[in-house]
Chain A
Amino acid sequence: MFEFLLRHYNYWMFIGLMMIGFYAMMAKKNLIKKIIGMNIFQSAIILFFISTSVKGGGVSVPILQYAHKGAKAGIVDVMQYANPLPHVLMLTAIVVMVATLGVALAVAIMIYRRYDTLEEDEIRLRRKRGS
């Protein structure tokens, strides 16, 4: 059981991080805190994936060595390099995350210009009063 815990602890760390972000998104009332929570949640997902790309202890980044100046790489020892595919997917996911962050902040700016506050309860009150 303990060995099981040890083997999977990396996943659990990131799940904990995801929970923090998710909770922030749901429970906080300030719009900016919600956005930050969203950001934490997405970053945690990204880290979660990258952690799966490691193979064993001393694995290097997926850039082939001895391949400069036109040298032939020869036989590539696959086990020596980390798995590149999650890195690639997560690069794209990071870009998407930043773009979503930008649009969310733009909408928050719109709301601020209109209602002069960023607290959800305040906004609801002001809308009811017909501000």
Chain B
Amino acid sequence: MSVETPILIIVIPLISAVLTPLMGLWKKVLSYICAITALSLCTLASVNTLYRVLTDGSIHYRLGSWPPPFGIELVVDHLNGMMLVIVSVISLSVAVYSYRSIEQELPGKAVYFYTLYLLQVTGFLGILITGDLFNLYVFLEIASLAGYALIAVGEDGAPVACFRYIVMGTIGACFYLLGVGYIYISTGSLNMADVHLLIQKLYDTKVIATAIAFILTGLAVKMALFPLHVWLPDAYTKAPSATSALIAPLMTKVSIYVMIRILFSVFEISLFVEVFPLTKIMVWAGIAAICGGAVMALAQTDFKRMLCYILVAEVGYMVGGLGLANAVAIRGAILHILNDAVMTAGLFTVAGIIMHKIKSRRLADFEGLFKRMPFTMSAFVVCALSMIGVPPTCGFFSKWYLIQGAILAGEWPFVAALLGSSLINVILFFRIIEIGFVFKSSMQGHPHDKERMDKIDEAPLSMLIPTVGIATAIILIGFYNQAIVKHIIDFALPKF
């Protein structure tokens, strides 16, 4: 059984995605149970896989027992294993969380929602686990298509926002395909390890340069790197709460993972530092993303939209960290993938709970929430502290590594951007916390408001447990981050 776990990780969500509509048409609640069961099994499988990778080293699983490069193989190493667990756990938490909110926002369509949810998780896991470039494109499209549909059923402006996302996302995926095609034309193979060997002779040809440019641009669209991020705020704000809680943390991080794979495992890192000035471009793109995201976030009055711009800034951290190209910074960037996924999941689930309860996302409506929903808002405070970078939450450690790496590389603008954005995050979140604490002062003379406030109580349990769970995880990851770095991330670093 445990030899087959890599493929099980894909197969379980896939088969349940087929079963879910069938069971759901019979009894609606069964689709929910089916999804939860599938995701729990999937989490078990990915934890098992990670454990095997930690004890035995990387896993190469050949599909159909054809040796690569003639067949497709699944490769799980430390970076993969960690990300598989992240994706499984977050999707399980959000699935538990989504039951109530989907009932409210999408009446009658819950069955198909869960089907697409499982398909999207299949897509993400497929991207993470594959060792073949074209296979990655197929699963990227599975995840993207499911994402388009999940976003388009949101509130009023959702289809328009989604259409823009479809056009940009498809261009991105096609650019990726073009890049892979150029690599294929010049090397003749699609397997990542094989291409890594073959491409060493071809480093200074124009074909490879074009291929790299296209692949990275395509991925930049998918990960919402500034200035290709324009689809993100509209799409994630107007999507249903459960969708944003699922896609927002994961889609961008998975695309960043693909970029790491392409840069480090397929091409050598030394190529980029010496031959192309790519690392400089990455650092500057990161700085632009951080500044742009932070500035736009300050101007928002809609909570979820503000979170989307913060997400754009976070992507800037990671890309800039990768661009610094020294061991400390890359360690920080990879740790930040883990941290940011958890933090963003936490923040978007809080946003969803608030939306569920008070049906509004304007910051001005957040008055008095601390008294009424203490657990939710404490989870929010933990996530906010992590975004700012306060120890012992996990956000502090990844920022610390990134700052160290930036100082080591002498990139002072990046250090300034990191510190500046932490300050701006402080402003943003404390503004919300302040509004949340204001309670009785403006309530007099507004009987309608008081009535509304009385109706707000603590969030339903099924939505609350995942949120609090994620907040606890943030603190736990902070405490254990040394162990995580030592055992997992250090093995994922490329050899210099």
A-side interface residues toward B, CB under 8 Å?
A: 22, 25, 31, 34, 38, 41-42, 45, 48-49, 52, 85-86, 89, 92-93, 96, 99-100, 103-104, 106-108, 110-111, 114, 123, 127
Contacts and interface: CB of A to CB of B under 8 A. Distances in A.
A80 B133 CA distance: 28
B141 interface: yes
Contacts of B190: 89
B167 interface: yes
A96 B138 contact: yes
B163 A42 contact: no
Contacts of B184: 85-86, 89
A107 B166 contact: yes
A42 B171 CA distance: 9
24 contacts: A25-B167, A25-B171, A34-B167, A41-B171, A42-B170, A42-B174, A45-B177, A85-B184, A89-B184, A92-B138, A96-B137, A96-B138, A96-B141, A100-B145, A103-B145, A103-B149, A104-B163, A104-B167, A107-B152, A107-B166, A110-B152, A111-B160, A114-B156, A127-B157
Given A96-B141, A100-B141, A114-B159, A45 B166 contact: no
Interface of A is mostly: helix
B163 A111 contact: yes
Contacts of B185: 52
A123 B160 contact: yes
Contacts of B494: none
A34 B152 CA distance: 18
Given A48-B181, A99-B141, A107-B163, 18 more contacts: A22-B171, A45-B178, A45-B181, A48-B178, A52-B181, A52-B185, A89-B134, A89-B190, A93-B177, A100-B141, A100-B145, A100-B170, A104-B148, A104-B163, A106-B152, A107-B159, A110-B152, A114-B156
Contact of A107 (B137, B148, B178): B148
Contacts of A25: 167, 171
A76 to B, nearest CB: 15
A99 B157 CA distance: 23
B162 interface: yes
Contacts of B134: 89, 92
A100 B146 CA distance: 10
B116 to A, nearest CB: 11
Contacts of B162: 107
Contacts of A89: 134, 184, 190
Q: Max chain A CB contacts within 10 Å: which of B167, B171, B174?
A: B174
Interface residues of B, number: 25
A100 B166 contact: yes
A104 B171 CA distance: 13
Contacts of A99: 141, 145
Contact of B174 (A31, A34, A41, A86): A41
A3 to B, nearest CB: 18
Interface in B246-286: none
Contacts of A85: 184
Nearest to A102: B145
A127 B160 contact: yes
A102 to B, nearest CB: 9
B462 to A, nearest CB: 29
Interface string B133-153: 010011001000100110010
Given A100-B170, A103-B148, A111 B181 contact: no
B456 to A, nearest CB: 27
A45 B163 contact: no
A34 B185 CA distance: 29
A111 B163 CA distance: 9
Given A114-B159, A123-B160, A38 B149 contact: no
Contacts of A41: 171, 174
B228 to A, nearest CB: 13
Contact of A103 (B166, B174, B178): B166
Contacts of B163: 31, 104, 107-108, 111
A45 B190 CA distance: 17
A13 B134 CA distance: 24
Contacts of B166: 100, 103-104, 107
Contacts of A86: 184
Nearest to B185: A52
A107 B147 CA distance: 12
Interface string B309-334: 00000000000000000000000000
B247 to A, nearest CB: 15
